[in-house]
A and B are shown apart, each in its own frame.
Chain A
Amino acid sequence: MTMKPTHLYVTALLFVFAISAGCKKEVQDLPPSNDPVFRVSGTFGTEAVQVTAGQDGAYMNTWVDNVKGVNCYKGKLCDSDFEIELGIYAGDIDIAGFAPAHITNATQFQWACLSSEPLVRLSKDSLTNSALIDNIKWFIDGVQAGVNDLNIYRPGKYEICALVKFTDQTQSNVCNELIVGYEKNAAFRIQHFLGQNSVLKSWVEVEAGEIASVKWISDGEYIGEGQNLGTILNQEQHIIEAEVAFTNGTKRNRSILIDGSLSGKYIDDFARLERNNIINWDYKAILKIRKNGVDYSSLNAQNDTQSITISSISYFGKNTVGHPVYILKGKLKANVKSLSNMVIPVDLDISFGIVVPE
């Protein structure tokens, strides 16, 4: 069959239209390349250091750590040779909720440091009825931490329980939350008086702040409200708990052990033994470095004059678990100390990521 000119003409037209029109689907452009986001560069002692997330296998990890009951917002940038971890401790931990502005608006972060002296001393001898107490076993977060005396050096929020053995071999247990090494936005103690007719009078003695409300609980049951409590107890031992809320948002609980038999087997509010802070870790920074297998920490070193100077803090995105991550850019100067007491000065330009909760 010969091809007629009509066929050739139509075929040619179809050919032209087909290849000229083409498929209307557009080729998606690649996302534009960007510069590395997280990196540190500077000196570690006398060695030059540069780690960039995305190069040479380096990766920026971010997470929220809980250190002694207090959140620490951390980031770690590491490659095969150098590892740097930077954390910012939370603050105002006695206030419910978190205000990210304390971090996102900061222009400087001081280094957290340890104290050579205990921040809190809990002792049997500090109790008024210590003569009737045979021994006290102190538990911190369920773990026995001492007998008769308990010293706490590290800041944190602790659940302290005292298992008291009286001289008549009876035992009682009372627990209280102690905030150590962090700002207390309110201060109070529970006082009580038990009369001969087993009438109990207890009250909240405010040392700082303004009370908003007080709830009284006896042996787990609600018994009343108000700054002052009056009730009648039987001859047994009772745990009296006060839930105190302050106008500045502070919320604390305090518990005491009361002996209804008036035999002197009671435990005062030992939370009052929270001392005024000699150190304060609210929104303080901590630096850890691992190089050549050796760990260094800023906690052990003298960093009174060192700090992190922030040039900008900006939101980056969310990490793999959905926590918002911010980029801290600035200059980091610190001393870090190894377990072998080797102190190394660190001077780094940082573009570092940490989690800052909403």
Chain B
Amino acid sequence: MNWSDDEIDKLFQESSSQLNVPYQESFWEEMETLLPAPQKSRRGIAWIWGGFMACILLIGTLFIPFKKIDTPSLGRVTAGKQLPGTPVHAMQASAAQHAVPLTQTQVESTSEKATVPTKPVHVGATTFATLQDATSPLNITVSTQPGQTSGQRLQAARPALAPNTAVALAAPVTPDFVAATESSVHEAENTAVSREPQSVAPETATATTDPVTDISGSESAATTVDNLQALPLRTFREPIAQTDLLPTTFDLLERNRHLYIQLGAGIAQSYISGTNHSSMMPTVAFGAGYLYDPKGWGFSAGLNFQSAFPANLEITQRSQIYGFGVTTYQQNLCYTQLYTVELPLNIQYRKGRHIFSAGLAPTFLAGTLMNLSRSENDEEQENLWYLGKKEGLKSWGLKPTLAYQLKVGKTTMIGMQLNLQTVSQIDPQQFSGKHTALPLSGQITIRRTLSK
């Protein structure tokens, strides 16, 4: 059944004339259910990541000044705001936050008086004298759903009110849309409900104006149509406009700023190449960072931990002690793993799903896994493992990087990067073999952003 707006309006007129909703506390509870569920605070996560990424965030704020957005936009909680010309108000959380004293007023009805404790209700910029007014079908704005007409929305709102309606009518009200003339309908629409506590004859209606929310700006007097007291109704000269509520998701960061974690694996040129060993060494890395990833230019800053597995990084030390004969001591220090901390700082350019970046990564050799074997006159005396030794190795380095990443999902990127270690990581005098001056390395990476 497709109703026209006029028919719907008339239906509202008749309904409101019959409406006598006594106040109940459960109204607030039901209103609570209409409100969106509060989001989990992410302050705990913010504190944890803040400690870990404090320096990176600081760098980010230096390059990207914070910009306040004045207009309602996605990602913000917006309280309902009454726009000029639109009589619809959003009711979100505001009603429950305002404590106002109760006042009593008499709600005018056709057959009986009902004293309903009411309190002024502030909804957005609008103040309603009574809950009734605030919950009037004419003043209710429900959560929008795409595709709903205004009538459907109002129809959806009605069940919240209907069970609590305590209206006793002297006579059933049968809306007679045929008999009602347009003029009488309009007269009935202009009848206002009395706001003041006063006795009103059933047959009479006091036409009063709403001093606060006279949206239409016109005063109207109650009239009687078919012995039914028509309540003054507001005139909807403009179609009801619904403002779609924005998603109320409370994000920690704005859309283009993310925290990420990253895994990588690849190979690198060995610092020393020998005839008996491979000149390449595998590497694995994992890290995290901060990414500013808008369309076009952006940047990232991270903290990576890399483990490399050299095959021929060995120091041989010999000592000969002469006495009655000679005792030859030999000590072999063989590095099997190198642990490096890197701080990659990259500038990137994103075009669609493709991300090209370049940057610099200071590196620090945090530790090693080393095997020490000691022999005396070519007889092995002991074989030990050491963690953290750096004999013959340099701690600091600097790696320019080039990278390409492809966004394969909302939060996932895969890519590859090339690095060049520009600072020698070893003391070539202590290692035997050919020294690689500028070792090149490559990695395949998988990056996942943590924010939506």
Residues in A lying within 8 Å of B, measured CB to CB: 3, 5-6, 8-9, 12, 15-16, 18-23, 25, 27, 30-38, 53-55, 58-62, 316-317, 319, 353
B230 to chain A: which residues have CB within 8 Å? none
Cα distance A15–B284 in the bound complex, in angstroms: 14
- What residues on A are CB-neighbors of B329 within 8 Å? 30-31
The 10 A-B pairs of least Cβ separation, nearest first, read A22-B388, A54-B326, A19-B367, A30-B319, A19-B339, A36-B322, A60-B324, A54-B322, A23-B387, A59-B325
Do A9 and B48 touch across chains, with their CB atoms under 8 A apart? yes
Contact indicator B305/A319 (Cβ below 8 Å): no
Q: Are B325 and A12 in contact (CB under 8 A)?
A: no
Determine if B391 and A27 form an interchain contact, defined as CB atoms under 8 angstroms apart: yes
Q: How far is the CB of B451 from chain A (nearest CB, A)?
A: 11
Can you report 11 A-B residue pairs in the complex whose CB atoms are below 8 A from each other?
A6-B45, A12-B305, A19-B367, A19-B388, A20-B388, A22-B387, A27-B372, A27-B386, A30-B318, A30-B319, A60-B325
In the assembled complex, the Cα of A16 lies from the Cα of B368 at a distance in Å of 12
Q: Which residues of A contact B324 (CB under 8 A)?
A: 38, 53, 59-62, 319, 353
A32 contact set on B, CB distance < 8 A:
319
Please tell me which one of the listed residues A21, A22, A35, A54 contacts residue B325 in the complex, with CB atoms under 8 A apart.
A54
- Indicate the member of B319, B333, B391 with the most A CB atoms within 10 Å: B319
A9 touches which of B49, B321, B341 (Cβ 8 Å): B49
| Smallest beta-carbon distance B365→chain A, Å | 9
Nearest neighbor of A11 in chain B, beta-carbon distance: B286
> Does residue B452 face the partner (Cβ distance < 8 Å to A)?
no
Question: Bound state CA distance, A319 and B324, in angstroms?
Answer: 8
Q: Is the interface of B mostly helix, strand, loop or mixed?
A: strand
Closest beta carbon of chain A to B286's beta carbon, Å: 8
Most chain-A CB neighbours within 10 Å: which of B51, B320, B329, B384? B320
Residue in B303, B324, B326, B372 whose Cβ sees the most chain A Cβ within 10 Å? B324
The answer to whether B317 touches A16 (Cβ under 8 A) is: no
Contact B305 A53 (CB under 8 A): no
Question: Within 8 Å of chain A (Cβ to Cβ): is B28?
Answer: no
A34 touching B321 in the complex, CB below 8 Å, given contacts A9-B52, A27-B372: yes
Chain A minimum-CB-distance residue to B317:
A30
- Asked if B259 is an interface residue, CB under 8 A from chain A, the answer is yes
Checking A5, A23, A53 against B259 with a beta-carbon cut-off of 8 angstroms, the contacting residue is A5
The chain A residue with its CB closest to the CB of B305 is A15
A residues within 8 A CB of B45? 5-6
B314 to chain A, nearest CB (A): 14
Q: How far is the CB of A182 from chain B (nearest CB, A)?
A: 30
Docked complex Cα distance between A35 and B49 (Å) = 61
Q: Quick one: which of B211-259 are within 8 Å of A by CB?
A: 259
Kindly state whether residue B192 has any CB partner on chain A within 8 Å: no
Which of A3, A9, A35 is the one whose CB lies under 8 Å from B322?
A: A35
> Could you tell me the distance in whole angstroms from the C-beta of B273 to the nearest C-beta in chain A?
25
Q: Mark B289-331, 1 if CB is under 8 A from A, else 0.
A: 0000000000000010100000000000111111111100101
What residues of chain A lie closer than 8 Å to B123, measured between beta carbons?
none
Complex: how many Å from CA A5 to CA B52?
A: 10
Task: List CB contacts (< 8 Å) of B383-397 with chain A.
Answer: 384, 386-389, 391
B388, A54: Cβ atoms closer than 8 Å = no
Contacts of B341 in A (CB 8 A): 16
Q: Does B288 contact A (CB under 8 A)?
A: yes
The reply to whether A31 and B319 form a contact with Cβ atoms under 8 Å apart is: yes
Closest to B340 in A: A19
Say yes or no: A33 contacts B389, CB within 8 Å.
no
Question: Does A37 lie within 8 Å of B322, measured CB to CB?
Answer: yes
Bound form: Cα–Cα A129–B326 in Å:
65
Q: Does B261 make an interface contact (CB < 8 A)?
A: yes
A5 to B341, CA, bound (A): 19
B350 to chain A, nearest CB (A): 24
Chain B residues near A34: list those with CB within 8 A: 320-322
Taking A19-B366, A31-B329, A54-B320 as known contacts, 14 extra A-B pairs with beta carbons closer than 8 A to each other, sorted by chain A number, are A5-B259, A12-B303, A18-B387, A21-B388, A22-B387, A23-B388, A25-B384, A27-B372, A30-B331, A33-B321, A53-B323, A59-B325, A60-B324, A319-B324
Does residue B450 face the partner (Cβ distance < 8 Å to A)? yes
Tell me whether A37 and B320 are in contact in the complex, defined as CB-CB below 8 angstroms, given that A5-B48, A9-B52, A23-B386 are known contacts.
no
Q: For residue A61, which residues in chain B have a CB less than 8 angstroms away from its CB?
A: 324
B333: chain A residues within 8 A (beta carbon): 27
- A16 CA to B320 CA in the complex, in Å? 39
Cα A298 to Cα B326 with chains together (Å): 30
Q: Which chain A residues border B386 with CB–CB below 8 Å?
A: 22-23, 25, 27
Candidates A9, A15, A20, A53; contact of B326 at CB < 8 Å: A53
Q: Is the CB of B366 within 8 A of A54?
A: no
User: Are the C-beta atoms of B366 and A20 separated by less than 8 Å?
Assistant: yes
CA distance A31 to B259 in the complex (A): 53
Q: How far in angstroms is the closest Cβ of chain B from A248?
A: 37
A8 to B305 CA separation, bound complex (whole angstroms): 12
Q: Which residue of B lies closest to A34 (CB)?
A: B322
Residue among A3, A12, A60, A353 facing the most chain B CB atoms (10 A cut-off): A12
Closest residue of A by beta carbon distance from B320: A33
Q: How far, in Å, is A85 (CB) from chain B's closest CB?
A: 15
